[in-house]
Structure 1
Amino acid sequence: MAERTAKSYEIDMCSGAILPKLLRFAVPLMCSSMLQLLFNAADIIVVGRFAGDNSLAAVGSNTSLISLLTNLFIGLSIGANILASRFYGAGEEEGMRQTVHTSILLSLISGLFLAVVGALGARTILTWMQSPPDVLDLAALYLRIYFLGMPATMVYNFGAALLRAVGDTRRPLYYLFTAGVINVILNLFFVIVCRLDVAGVAIATVISQTVSALLVLRCMVRDGGAVRLELRQLRIWPARLNQILRVGLPAGFQGILFALSNVVIQSSVNSFGSTIAAGSAAASNIENFVYVAMNAFYQANVSFTSQNLGAGKYARIRPILLRSQLCVVVVGMLFGGLATFFSPTLLQLYSKSPAVIAAGRNRLLNVCLPYALCGMMDVMVGSLRGIGYSVMPMLVSLVGACCFRLVWISTLFQHPAFHTIETVYWSYPISWVITFLAHVACYLWAMRRLKRHLEALPLRAEKSSCT
């Protein structure tokens, strides 16, 4: 019965029509990501409305730091997803079993490491980041409690990545929705009734994260399929760990580098004053919804490509890429266009100031409207990672996006004629185009190399039989 239930959630990525299965994979994942954003927004809304501006600043100021500290380990979960997809596609049950158990234990170790770093180093790190003195104590308290929930957060992320490897994106959505509802209810209870301020928001987050992690573990323990987890078999297989790190570490470092480059961009935005900064921040929050909608097809592309590579279905790799690009362009243009068209209404949710709304609309016009370019770039990265290349897309992204933006800000932006907020915003779409084209060149080279490798296999087999 358990095995039949597990199979009903899985997707056969290695045969049949690609597009319907891509959509079946990506849509629940898209909904999960958007729900996560909505629940995160609920944290900020509750603390802002019922605890005050200082508490709002304390919670909001931690967002970039949390992303910076967790991106590396989120990258490792991508490595686990790719490796599990490959073994599942190849039908290698033992490799799949080792990957599942190594990944879950790795998630616990990663989470415990982050918990120690966050609990012991919160105040020091916030001081290095020049957190305002009037919110430093509240921000440090929030960060310490938040990071105590990191083991649960990592378990959920790795568990969900393993479920995605077999095409199951629905159950993680159900678990995330359950945990999110609990988070909102506990936010209101701890902040309004118990008056725990930022500590209440952090405690609610930790509890909801723990619920989502327990649901994923329960699912995997009871699963009768490829992602079955037996707690007594938790251990690290060095070969599997090495494979996860080879793919996951470059992905994680890429996330860190993007976060650091965005800090520099943000400082340039801040130089235009609080009105522009507020409008940019509001627009950025709206952009996040467009980004996660497109990112679902990046993750679908990774899983589909990895499975078909493992199964030896090489002819399906290019059609998977083309259909993923089609989906991401449609979603990016549709959502980006809607966000820009309805920007006056959407931005009013963040501010009533006409100047802030105008500043936010300016960013959406320059960054969100062409956001499909970013999705196209990410899908190319997904294909490269899916066929086994992880360092290459990291280096290309580093040069094409991160370094380009830094050079753009330090050269063209410094010229009086181009010292405008629009010049800052243009660095995004231009860097996306440059990086996308570079990734296309890398992909064509990688596919030619794969083709030569496949053509050489019969010759090697023939020589072996002759000897």
Structure 2
Amino acid sequence: MERNTTFTEGKILQPLILFAMPVLFALFLQAMYGAVDLLVVGKFASSADVSAVSTGSQIMMTLTNLISCFAMGTTVLLGQLIGCGKKEEGGKAVGTAMVMFAGIALVMTVLLVCFAPQISSIMHAPKEAFDKTAAYVRICGCGMIVIVAYNLIGCIFRGIGDSKMPLFTVAIACVCNIAGDLVLCAGFHMGTTGAACATVFAQVVSVVVSFGFIRKKQLPFVFKKENVRIHKDLLKKMAGLGAPIALQDLLVSISFLIILAIVNSMGVTASAGVGVAEKVCAFIMLISSAFMQSMSAFVAQNYGAGRMDRAKKALYNGIGQTKFVMLQGIAGAFGVRVPVSYLMSIRPDTSLFKIGLATPMSSVVQLLLCLGFMVILNRRARKGEIR
């Protein structure tokens, strides 16, 4: 458990795949226990509860993904510092991330707890599910500090080349969440409230276990209590690396929220139905998300060690291209997904199937944009314009 993956020497493909597999399984477990929430609530509660969990969990997923993607800046920066042997700076980076994300968690907690009804109203939560949706958002908001810590710890572990520990802690959270759902929703018939409490409880247990392992683990950076403060230079680098990725993911998530808000206006049954469909969609993105997170750690360590040859072989000039990821996300979300879903929703013969066509259509457009960008990069590389 004290061994971390070093990407700066040896083979490239094999260690990258071995590192990515635990990340993939961890993401699968996260998607699974999100789906189990709806499964258990759908079995033992009403359609209003399913609608509330659907809307509330989509809101929380948007915020969680925002945190996780922004924390990728920590993963990349920590990987760079470890790659070039700057252990002291690595500890300062972790301390800076802790303070920064604690502040973000505090702000999110206040907003979610105080403005849960307003957020539910913006999402057009059906009348029958409105109070339940607000309750779900408020309960999860109370546990935001734990949710943020849960995701930050995972990003730090991946930054030091350890993808197995996040898998283990996610597995613990998954088991606790499913057990909590069965006890609170199936046993005590708490519906939406039970699902929200189970989610927060699961992540509390996971964070506690994570801290226990951190105390026993030999870390590849030097961490001191005095490191727990903002180091402006590291904060700037961290934000610069994480912001484009976070913004791209936020824009995509907002487009899904807009679709959900449109469908919520069609009633509680339609709202519950689209919520189930979106949980299924979460599984579709697993492989690409796993390799994105794994590639970030790989490129970061090699970049920090000055091994640009290895970094380019793994992901050609990957660190400098996150802005394109943001741009193609904007194009897909606001150029295709939102307009198509809106146009389909105002048709006389509208249906959930037709509204749902917006997602695969936008994915095709984004895929074509990425392929086109890759062709352009290859041409520039052959001409010697990119080194």
TM-score range, shorter chain: 0.7 to 0.9
Residue 31 of structure 1 pairs with residue 33 of structure 2? no
Residue 241 of structure 1 pairs with residue 176 of structure 2? no
Give the unaligned 5+ runs of structure 1.
Answer: 322-382, 452-467
Match of 1:221 in 2: 215
Match of 2:60 in 1: 66
Match of 1:387 in 2: 319
CA contact (8 A) 2:71 2:155 kept: yes
Residues 70 and 37 of structure 1: CA distance in aligned 2, closer, same or farther (over 3 Å): closer
Task: Give the AA of the match of 1:313.
Answer: R
Q: Distance in 2 between matches of 1:28 and 1:412?
A: 40
Residue 183 of structure 1 pairs with residue 180 of structure 2? no
Match of 1:77 in 2: 71
Residues 440 and 298 of structure 1: CA distance in aligned 2, closer, same or farther (over 3 Å): farther
Q: Distance in 1 between matches of 2:357 and 2:129?
A: 32
Q: Distance in 1 between matches of 2:197 and 2:249?
A: 27
Residue 258 of structure 1 pairs with residue 252 of structure 2? yes
Q: Distance in 2 between matches of 1:437 and 1:165?
A: 30
Q: Distance in 1 between matches of 2:35 and 2:20?
A: 23
Q: Following TM superposition, by how much is the alpha carbon of 1:395 offset from its aligned partner in structure 2, in angstroms?
A: 2.8
Residue 402 of structure 1 pairs with residue 333 of structure 2? yes
Match of 1:205 in 2: 199
Residue 143 of structure 1 pairs with residue 137 of structure 2? yes
CA contact (8 A) 2:40 2:182 kept: yes
Q: Following TM superposition, by how much is the alpha carbon of 1:105 offset from its aligned partner in structure 2, in angstroms?
A: 2.4
Q: Distance in 1 between matches of 2:84 and 2:306?
A: 7
Q: Following TM superposition, by how much is the alpha carbon of 1:44 offset from its aligned partner in structure 2, in angstroms?
A: 1.4
Q: Following TM superposition, by how much is the alpha carbon of 1:173 offset from its aligned partner in structure 2, in angstroms?
A: 0.9
Q: Following TM superposition, by how much is the alpha carbon of 1:443 offset from its aligned partner in structure 2, in angstroms?
A: 7.6
Task: Give the AA of the match of 1:20.
Answer: Q
Of structures 1 and 2, the one with the larger relative CO (CA 8 A, separation 6+) is 2
CA contact (8 A) 1:220 1:229 kept: no
What RMSD, in angstroms, separates the aligned Cα atoms of the two structures? 3.2
* Corresponding residue SS for 1:312: coil
CA contact (8 A) 1:397 1:435 kept: no
Residue 92 of structure 1 pairs with residue 86 of structure 2? yes
Alignment TM-score, normalising by the size of structure 2? 0.86
Task: Give the AA of the match of 1:166.
Answer: I
Q: Distance in 1 between matches of 2:68 and 2:378?
A: 24
Structure 1 residue corresponding to 2:373, chosen from 421, 430, 438: 438
Alignment TM-score, normalising by the size of structure 1? 0.72
CA contact (8 A) 2:96 2:235 kept: yes
**Greater CA radius of gyration, 1 or 2?**
1
- After TM superposition, the structure 1 = structure 2 runs for residues 65-464 of structure 1, keeping only pairs within 5 Å, are 65-227=59-221, 229-231=223-225, 233-263=227-257, 284-321=278-315, 386-399=318-331, 401-405=332-336, 409=340, 421=354, 424=358, 425-438=360-373, 440-441=375-376, 451=387
Q: Distance in 2 between matches of 1:199 and 1:279?
A: 20
Q: Distance in 2 between matches of 1:11 and 1:66?
A: 32
CA contact (8 A) 2:84 2:306 kept: yes
Task: Give the AA of the match of 1:152.
Answer: V
Task: Give the AA of the match of 2:73.
Answer: G
Task: Give the AA of the match of 2:229.
Answer: R
CA contact (8 A) 1:59 1:139 kept: yes
Q: Distance in 2 between matches of 1:185 and 1:280?
A: 25
Q: Following TM superposition, by how much is the alpha carbon of 1:263 offset from its aligned partner in structure 2, in angstroms?
A: 4.4
Q: Distance in 1 between matches of 2:245 and 2:177?
A: 29
Task: Give the AA of the match of 1:188.
Answer: L
Between Structure 1 and Structure 2, how many residues are aligned?
379
* Corresponding residue SS for 1:17: coil
Q: Following TM superposition, by how much is the alpha carbon of 1:439 offset from its aligned partner in structure 2, in angstroms?
A: 5.1
Give the unaligned 5+ runs of structure 2.
Answer: none
Q: Following TM superposition, by how much is the alpha carbon of 1:311 offset from its aligned partner in structure 2, in angstroms?
A: 0.8
Q: Deviations over 1:299-340 (max 9, x none)?
A: 11111111111111111123213xxxxxxxxxxxxxxxxxxx
Q: Distance in 1 between matches of 2:271 and 2:48?
A: 18
Structure 2 residue corresponding to 1:40, chosen from 22, 27, 34: 34
Q: Which moved more, 1:165-174 or 1:421-430?
A: 421-430
Residues 174 and 69 of structure 1: CA distance in aligned 2, closer, same or farther (over 3 Å): closer
CA contact (8 A) 2:98 2:228 kept: yes
Q: Following TM superposition, by how much is the alpha carbon of 1:89 offset from its aligned partner in structure 2, in angstroms?
A: 1.0
Residues 116 and 407 of structure 1: CA distance in aligned 2, closer, same or farther (over 3 Å): closer
Residues 78 and 217 of structure 1: CA distance in aligned 2, closer, same or farther (over 3 Å): same
Q: Deviations over 1:341-381 (max 9, x none)?
A: xxxxxxxxxxxxxxxxxxxxxxxxxxxxxxxxxxxxxxxxx
Q: Deviations over 1:378-423 (max 9, x none)?
A: xxxxx65x43444343234323x23431697399989x9xx99496
Q: Distance in 1 between matches of 2:205 and 2:49?
A: 25
CA contact (8 A) 1:86 1:306 kept: yes
Match of 1:324 in 2: none
Identity within the alignment, %: 27
Residues 113 and 228 of structure 1: CA distance in aligned 2, closer, same or farther (over 3 Å): farther
* Corresponding residue SS for 1:62: helix
Q: Following TM superposition, by how much is the alpha carbon of 1:232 offset from its aligned partner in structure 2, in angstroms?
A: 5.6
Structure 2 residue corresponding to 1:50, chosen from 38, 44, 55: 44
Q: Distance in 1 between matches of 2:87 and 2:130?
A: 50
